[in-house]
Structure 1
Amino acid sequence: MHDAKAWIFDLDGTLTLAQHDFVAIREELGIPADEDILGYLEKLPEDQASELSRQLDAIELRLARDVAAAPGAARLIRHLRDTGKQVGILTRNLHSVALSSLEVLGIADCFEPEHILGRAEALPKPDPAGIHHLLGLWSVEPKEAVMVGDFRFDLEAGRAAGCRTCLLHEHDSWPGLADLHLPDCERLLVYLQGFADTH
């Protein structure tokens, strides 16, 4: 991972502490428990999907007020930027929520606005379109990039794009999808700095 030129991050649960209670969100929106929220909305008639999307936006904006940084997130992003890496965000949230969260984390200055992709800027993960878009902007080959996240959609998107994948989660719940598994940003930073210190 140390030689990767570009790092693409999920947001909620990866750079921030996980705060989306998806069970509660589904209940609030009246979405069946076994359905992916965005996938379910795509199957609805346009007027119904539009109304539920508006409600989902409001929920996310409400949650954004209480966002908290994951351990080591800010220092990890600054380390990557300071060592000349490209960094981007690919989230299933709103762009405005992502930008607000990055401002709360104190690292909004590390990202160009066009390098922050929400669900309106790219097809939601696990579709790899957002990754391909960012790599195109950076002129970086997929094998030179890492997709980092806390859920299988992040890993599946990275795999589909031909990138390396890094799971940041206490448990390796999707063995075979992650090239690297660490509990959080803090440990990923230690991993990268440790390699730099010995080479």
Structure 2
Amino acid sequence: MREAKAWIFDLDGTLTLAQHDFVAIREELGIPADEDILSYLKTLPQAQAGELSRQLDAIELRLARDVAAAPGAASLIRHLRDSGKQLGILTRNLQSVAVSSLEVLGIADCFEAEHILGRAEALPKPDPAGIHHLLELWSVEPHEAVMVGDFRFDLEAGRAAGCRTCLLHEHNGWPALADLHLPDCERLLMYLRDSVANP
């Protein structure tokens, strides 16, 4: 993947330590346990969906105060930035939460504001619209980009967009969707540095 020109990252659980307890969030919002939160909200009447969306926003903003970097996240992002790669964020969270998290991680300066897409700026993953939007901004072809995340939605979005996919998770539950599987950002950085040292 060392030839890739663009790297698009998920946020929670990828660049940050996973902190969203989705079971608890569903309980707090009264959403059935087996439902995807954002997909479920779309099925509700507008007034009810709006109220639950505001509650979800408040939960995410609350969680953002305690964000912590995943191992190697800042070093990985700075390595890619210093290597001349295009960098983007595609998250199902709020854009403001993403920006705040990147500031806490000390890497907000590595991302242009228009390259940080939350659920209001692009259709939520697994829809590939956000990836397509970023690639168009960068004039980069899908096969020249990598979508990095910790969940199948990230991989499905990358696949649908025609990108390479990288799963950062201890276990690979979706081997057919991941072109590369590593446990965390630290190991991905080691992989990229080793690729440079041993082309």
Q: Same fold (TM over 0.5)?
A: yes
Q: What is the CA–CA distance in structure 2 between the aligned matches of 1:45 and 1:151, rounded to whole Å?
A: 28
- The equivalent of 1:51 in structure 2 is 51
Report the CA distance between 1:86 and its aligned residue. Answer: 0.3
| Whole-angstrom CA distance in 2 between matches of 1:169 and 1:51 | 33
Provide the secondary structure at the position in 1 that maps to 2:166.
strand
Q: Which residue of 1 aligns with 2:184?
A: 184
Report the number of matched residues: 199
CA RMSD of aligned residues (A): 0.4
Following superposition, the deviation at residue 198 of structure 1 comes to 1.7
CA offsets per residue over residues 46-82 of structure 1, 9 Å max, x none?
Answer: 0000000000000000000000000000000000000
Deviation at 1:191, TM superposition (A): 0.1
Q: Which amino acid aligns with 1:67?
A: V
Q: Deviations over 1:14-56 (max 9, x none)?
A: 0000000000000000000000000000010000000000000
**Partner of 2:141 in structure 1?**
141
Within 5 Å, which residues of 2 pair with 1:70-109? 70-109=70-109
Aligned equivalents of 2:192, 2:94: Cα separation in 1: 30
TM-score, with length taken from structure 1: 1.00
The aligned residue for residue 174 of structure 2 is 174
Gaps of 5+ in 2: none
Q: Distance in 2 between the 1:111 and 1:75 partners?
A: 14
Q: State yes or no: 1:197 paired with 2:181.
A: no
**Cα offset, 1:175, TM superposition:** 1.3
How much has 1:197 moved relative to structure 2? 1.1
* Counterpart residue number, 1:16: 16
Partner of 2:33: 33
AA aligned opposite 2:47: D
Can you list the C-alpha shifts for 1:162-190, whole angstroms capped at 9, x where unaligned?
A: 00000000000111000000000000000
Identity %: 86
Distance 2:36 2:184 in 1: 24
1:198 and 1:15 mapped to 2: Cα distance? 26
| SS of aligned partner of 1:137 | helix
Distance 1:99 1:197 in 2: 33
Query: What is the distance in 2 between the residues matched to 1:157 and 1:66?
Result: 28
Return the letter of the residue paired with 1:87. Answer: L
Task: Tell me which stretches of 4 or more aligned residues in structure 1 moved more than 4 Å.
Answer: none
